[in-house]
Amino acid sequence: MVTEPNPSVELSTNGVGPWQGEWPTEPHYDPVLLERGDTRNVIDRYRYWNMEAIVADLDVTRHPFHVAIENWQHDMNIGSIVRSANAFGADTVHIIGRRRWNKRGAMVTDRYQHVLHHPDVAAFVEWTEANDLPIIAIDNVPGSVIIETFDIPQRCVLLFGQEGPGLSPEAIDAATDVVEISQFGSTRSINASAAAAVAMHNWITQHVSFTK
């Protein structure tokens, strides 16, 4: 099943002021935001909506791919990966390892994104098996295949490692497939959060239909 994208031309990048005119009465509107204005990092469609209503609306259209990140070193990239997961409509983000993670890069998008914690790789694998989700690991290691020609399953978990060391041996062993992003320069690898965004967008191009 493919889903149609819902592009939005954003007009209120810096937020909006108090609601002008008679207030709407629908329950998804937040009276505090109507009174004071809305400067949150949300698309125009969700201006003045309360957080619970936004999450409920997103739950209707989330894509069936998940994102998982190993968190052994309090990697600052995790927040950016969560933000990208929200932007691309991922079902859930899974944090493997340390429960606390650096949320600065998330730009508060974690409030609208389902996030689950797993204490170790074994617990994460147990969850994926219970939910019948293949693990697609992203890392440039021996035996990996290029993502550009790989058919990413519609229902899956995209698994990412830490900046620097990459995925742990346990994570690679647990993966159904291991793929890498093709590179053409001198650097050995790209930033972890950039790699995550590229991989998620690859899923989008394979499973979301677009019309000209």
* Tens place of pLDDT per residue across the chain (212 aa): 445 555 555 566 678 999 999 999 999 999 999 999 999 999 999 999 999 999 999 999 999 999 999 997 766 789 999 999 999 999 999 999 998 888 888 889 999 999 999 999 999 999 999 999 999 999 999 999 999 999 999 999 999 998 778 899 999 999 999 999 999 999 988 999 999 999 999 999 999 999 87
The residues near 109 (Cβ < 8 Å, ≥ 6 apart) are 41, 82, 83, 86, 87
Same domain (yes/no): 43, 81: no
Answer yes or no: is 203 within a domain: yes
Same domain (yes/no): 122, 141: yes
Same domain (yes/no): 41, 78: no
Last residue of a domain, one of 11, 45, 60: 60
Same domain (yes/no): 90, 43: no
In the chain, how many domains are there? 2
Same domain (yes/no): 91, 195: yes
Answer yes or no: is 17 within a domain: no
Answer yes or no: is 155 within a domain: yes
Q: How far apart are CA 173 and CA 194, in angstroms?
A: 23
Same domain (yes/no): 175, 194: yes
Q: How far apart are CA 202 and CA 152, in angstroms?
A: 8
Same domain (yes/no): 66, 45: no
Same domain (yes/no): 93, 35: no
The residues near 51 (Cβ < 8 Å, ≥ 6 apart) are 30, 111, 112
What is the pLDDT at residue 2? Answer: 46
Same domain (yes/no): 188, 125: yes
Answer yes or no: is 194 within a domain: yes
DSSP letters of 142-193?
TT-EEGGG----SSEEEEE-BTTTBS-HHHHHH-SEEEE----SS-S---HH
The domain of 144 spans 62-207
Same domain (yes/no): 55, 70: no
Residue 187 sits in a domain whose CATH number is 3.40.1280.10
Answer yes or no: is 9 within a domain: no
Residue 26 main-chain phi, psi, to 5 deg: -60, 145
Same domain (yes/no): 56, 66: no
Same domain (yes/no): 46, 79: no
Nearest CA among 187, 176, 66 for reference residue 116: 66
Q: Is the CB of residue 89 less than 8 Å from the CB of residue 65?
A: no
What is the pLDDT at residue 53? Answer: 98
Name the DSSP letter for residue 5: -
